[in-house]
Structure formats: C-alpha cells, structure tokens
Amino acid sequence: MAGTIKGKFARILFLFGLALAFISMFMDWYYYSACSSGSVIAEWSFNAFLSWQTSFIEGISSNEALRPKDSTELLIMGVILIGLVFICAFGAILKSVEMTNSMEETKPYIYLNTFLLMINGYFILVMPFTFLITNELYFPFISIEDLSTNTIHSYCIGPAYVMQVASFLLIFPHILFSVLTINRFESKKRSPETLIAKILESSKEEIPLEKFIAELNSESRSKEDVSIIYEKFQRQRWRRTR
C-alpha cells in the first residue's frame, strides 16, 4: 500500500515537473542590464520564442549597442521540449507503466521520457556553454564594473532556468524508476493456454464422430425396417398357409 502511494506521488511530481518545463519555455531565460553613472543605459531579457526583449523604447543607441547576440538554439530545443512534454504527459496519464498489461505498449513512452530528461539536462548543463559563454554572458549571476567606461554590467539567469532545474528534480525519479522497471519486468506476450490451443488446433486430426453416429443410426433404422417388413411378410405367409 505504501509502495502504491509512493508510485502515485512520484507520478504526480512527474506531471508537476512536466508542467514546470512547459511553463519555463514562456519565461525569461536571462537578464542583462548596464548602468552608467547611476542610470540604466541598457536592459535586455531573453525569451526562447521572442528572443531579446527590452523595456526601452527602440532607437536608444546605448541600449542597442549593448544588445547580446541572438540565438535560435533555444527556440529549436524549446519546440522539441514542448512536444515531448505533451507526449510524456499523455503517456504518464494513460499509458502508465503500472497500469499497463503489456510492457511493449509503455516502452516507447519511457524512451521518450528519457529523451525529455536529456533535453532537460541539455538546458541545465549544455545551454550555459553554447548560449551564455559564447555570447559573453555569465552564469549564474554577477555584476562586473567596467572601469574604462565607468559602467556596471549585471548578468543573471532568469526564472526559466530555475524552473528547468526544478523540473529535472521532479521528473528524474519517475523516469529512472520507469527505466529500471522495464529492464526488470516483462509482460507475458501470449498466454500458455492460447499458445497450446494454437498448436493443438494446427495439428488437430478431424474425428468424424457425428457423421459415424448418423450413419450407424440410419443403418440401424434400415435394418429395423427390413426386419419389420420381413416379419410382416412371414405373418402374411403364415395366415395364407393356414
């Protein structure tokens, strides 16, 4: 009973983790701002679908000059992640490993879950190198004073990254458990009864039992008929001779 509760709890956390991963794709991934002489001269935030966004009105040269480089990498990975989130949520609700009668049905969902975990890991481990470091942005947060221009540059990861980390923590136990389960258990493909019945059916020799009974019945009747006719004939002959 306690085991079942743990299983359900892990599945609920998994779904919650999927929801976090989904929401994170619409949140900001990174914040960058620059201050000079106490006033903000540039302010940018990065969203996977909207790229770099600023609260400044367009055309302010200092803001435009300090705009970090664009990246389509998060957009592509984000689209993949959203697709996977829906498939995995469907799998967790309707094709759960513990509810299934056939392991083969759930295996594809478990492999997709593993792929989702890898995408999740990509956002946590790989993205800081491929997106942040190459764009000269810092991880996780820092303020650097540029003495030559007397400007303070502030770098900070956004809530999307934090949500990805939380999502990883929530989906990891369920996925690891599912992978171990499909490696430990296997459902029986065919019941022994069906297997035996199939072999016996293919090797069955027909026994014409009903046909033989019908034949013997009709033979027996015709014999009876002959004996009745013979008896009648004998009776008539006896009467005539008398």
Partner 1 sequence: MNPYEDLDVKLRTLIHLSKKNEDSRRAAVVFYLLIRRVLNESGVKLGFAPLISNKEHKAFEYMNIINSVMQNTFNFKIFHKEIIDKVQKYELLYLRNPMSFPFDSLKELVNIYYDLRKMDVPNVYQSIHDTDYLESSYTTQANNFFIRSNNGRSGIFFKKKDSNHVKQYLSHELSHKEAMIRKKLKNKYDKESFEQLLQYKKLKREIAMGNSKKISFKGQLKNNHLYQESLNEIPGFFLIGLAVVFIMLSIVILIQELFRPEISGAFTLIAFALFGIAIILGFLYWKLYYQEVRNQ
Contacts with partner 1 by CB under 8 A lie at 2-4, 6-7, 9-10, 97-101, 103, 121, 124-125, 128-129, 132-133, 138-140, 142, 144, 165, 168-169, 172-174, 176-177, 180-181, 183-188, 191-193, 195-196, 199-200, 202-205, 207-210, 212-213, 215-217, 219-220, 223
CA atoms within 13 A on the CB side of 226: 6
> How far is 91 from 24, CA to CA, in rounded Å?
21
Task: Between 20 and 63, name the residue whose CB sits nearer to partner 1.
Answer: 20
Selection from 155, 164, 48 nearest residue 117 by Cα? 164
Task: Between 93 and 125, name the residue whose CB sits nearer to partner 1.
Answer: 125
Task: Between 63 and 74, name the residue whose CB sits nearer to partner 1.
Answer: 74
Task: Between 63 and 175, name the residue whose CB sits nearer to partner 1.
Answer: 175
> How far is 32 from 137, CA to CA, in rounded Å?
8
**Minimum distance of partner 1 from residue 131's CB (angstroms):** 12
**Minimum distance of partner 1 from residue 193's CB (angstroms):** 7
With contact defined as beta carbons under 8 Å apart, do 155 and 142 qualify?
Answer: yes
CA-CA-CA-CA torsion sign (72, 76, 78, 79): positive
CA dihedral (54, 56, 60, 65) in degrees, to 10, reads -30
> How far is 209 from 215, CA to CA, in rounded Å?
10
**Minimum distance of partner 1 from residue 141's CB (angstroms):** 10
**Minimum distance of partner 1 from residue 151's CB (angstroms):** 15
**Minimum distance of partner 1 from residue 10's CB (angstroms):** 5
Task: Between 31 and 122, name the residue whose CB sits nearer to partner 1.
Answer: 122
